[in-house]
Amino acid sequence: MERELGTFRVKAGLAEMLKGGVIMDVVKPEEAVIAERAGAVAVMALERVPADIRAAGGVARMADPRIIREIMDAVTIPVMAKARIGHFVEAQILDSLGVDYIDESEVLTPADEQYHIDKTKFKVPFVCGARNLGEALRRIAEGAAMIRTKGEPGTGNVVEAVRHARTVNAEIRRVAAAPADELPTIAKELGAPFELVQQVHDLGRLPVVNFSAGGIATPADAALMMQLGVDGIFVGSGIFKSADPEARARAIVRATTHYQDPEVLAEVSTGIGEAMRGIEISRIAPEDRMQERGW
């Protein structure tokens, strides 16, 4: 067999290697180094963390390639970067920079209100957000090799991440338990390709790795999401918007590994300074909720 690059197996495989780990948003090389030293399995290179994007308003776009390159040079762990939903040229640019994963992300302002990026055309793998099983499977059909719950980014409030994880879990349980002859109708209801619904039925889980994102701010939040069955954790604003980013980053990494061990969780939660302040979801106008972006 000839050497094959960019196969779905190597794309989904990198996500498998990140399981049980924490991926941290960083906006400069110094933060990337703090993340790596704390035990992050990857970093997301950004111009602003979601909390600042929310505060700044306006149109949020792909980061300046200079920032991404500097971060890639600063660490040895994988570097991810965000493209706007549907903005396949931003994705082409990120691909040419050599980033290890592209997040087609609702944190940025969507560039297309109808179509997501055709991710099968790229050698670089993509991760996409989802609030429910149908959305997750549509993204996988478009070529996503990793899924994350959307949560509500930049809020420091885990409630939406919990809602999305529970929704996906409940829908997976329903698909797994359904007899084969009901799957075509379930696929229609979910708005998802039948073949992927069948895979979920056979596996009892998503066919790719599923992380949690959007609102995780404490070690306990991370362990909560892990106990709800996600494969790993994205922390956006939660670390570098807290009082002591280094201590919090270390604590969240350890909580993600030892998520079933309350003694370790108590120990790592101790004395790590104040968490980011956070926002109650009902205070955010529906049109300002990032999770509503994408479909």
Partner 1 sequence: MTQIGIAAVQGAVREHERVLAALGARTSLVRRKEDLDGLDGLVLPGGESTAIGMLLEEYGIADVLRKGEIPVFGTCAGMILLAKEIEESSQPRLGLMDITVRRNAFGRQRESFEEEISVPAIQGGPLHAVFIRAPYVTSVGRDVEVLGTVDGKIVLCRQGRMLAGSFHPELTDDRRLHRYFLEEVVGERARLA
Catalytic residues: 82
- DSSP sequence for 197-218: HHHHHHHSS-SSEEEE-SS--S
Residues 6+ apart with CB under 8 A from 181: none
CB of 229 vs partner 1, minimal distance in Å: 12
CB of 54 vs partner 1, minimal distance in Å: 29
Give 95 or 244: the residue with its C-beta nearer to partner 1: 95
Q: What residues make contact with partner 1 under the rule CB under 8 A?
A: 1-7, 9-10, 13-14, 16-21, 36, 39-42, 76-78, 95, 98-101, 123-125, 232, 253-254, 256-258, 261
* 189 neighbors 128 (Cβ within 8 angstroms): no
Burial class (CB in 10 A: 0-12, 13-18, 19+), 5: exposed
SS3 89: helix
CB of 72 vs partner 1, minimal distance in Å: 8
Give whole-number Cα distances, 184 to 41, 75, 199, 204, in Å: 38, 46, 12, 17
Could you tell me the two tokens for 146? 């990793």
Give 20 or 193: the residue with its C-beta nearer to partner 1: 20
Give the distance from CA 266 to its chain's centroid.
26
* 1 neighbors 212 (Cβ within 8 angstroms): no
